[in-house]
Structure 1
Amino acid sequence: MARRWKRLTPSERVLVAQRYEAGETSIALAREYGVAKSTILSILREANVVVRRQPLTPEQVSQAAALYESGRSLSRVAAELSLKQDTIRLALKAAGVRLRPATGR
């Protein structure tokens, strides 16, 4: 089935920027509006909104640690959590998880 792309109206785009500036996350907004996080970030950049860095929640770090410690690779954990590998690596290091040597694959 082909993916249906959703376009936000100009008023929705303004509301997205306002809600983000009020503290809502780009991930929450993307889910609510049914668009990709990258779409939300593009809307914010177009509106000249400063994008906040969004660290992983304690629950995400705990889940990542559990997956990694069960034997999954960093790249596999990142894929399962829809995050970047480096984000996972840094979060696990900061949480005190001992990282295995890279396999080089």
Structure 2
Amino acid sequence: MEGYQRGRTTYRLAEQFGIHRVTVSQHLRRSGVSMRRQGLSDDALHEAARLYEGGSSLVRVADQFDVDPKTIWSGLSRMGLRIRDSHGRAR
């Protein structure tokens, strides 16, 4: 609980304890911890798009914002950006 309340993400806590992030979330909720908003703010999403369009991978952008790459992929897709495949080619 303390790590989450100090700002660590469920992803980082899951990694630290060797469990799935959903398990971390379940423990936090059962302990009465208020969960933070999921996803990225509009400003962060625009910055993520700038980085991605500049050539950074989904994984690198996600690491920078301490979120899962799927969060970045989802946000960029909603913005209408074309997502590159794993070889850097437009899909």
* TM-score after normalising by structure 2: 0.61
CA distance 1:89–1:46, shift in 2 (3 Å)? same
Cα distance in 2 for residues equivalent to 1:66 and 1:48: 34
Q: Is residue 28 of structure 2 the alignment partner of residue 56 of structure 1? A: no
Q: Give the secondary-structure state (helix, strand or coil) at the position aligned to 2:55.
A: coil
Cα distance in 2 for residues equivalent to 1:45 and 1:71: 41
In structure 1, the gaps of 5 or more residues are 1-6, 9-29
Q: How many residues align?
A: 74
Please name the residue that 1:92 is paired with.
Answer: 76
**Which protein is bigger by CA-based radius of gyration?**
1
Q: Give the secondary-structure state (helix, strand or coil) at the position aligned to 1:65.
A: helix
* TM-score after normalising by structure 1: 0.54
In structure 2, the gaps of 5 or more residues are 14-23
Q: Give the secondary-structure state (helix, strand or coil) at the position aligned to 1:47.
A: coil
CA distance 1:34–1:99, shift in 2 (3 Å)? same
Aligned-residue RMSD, C-alpha? 3.1
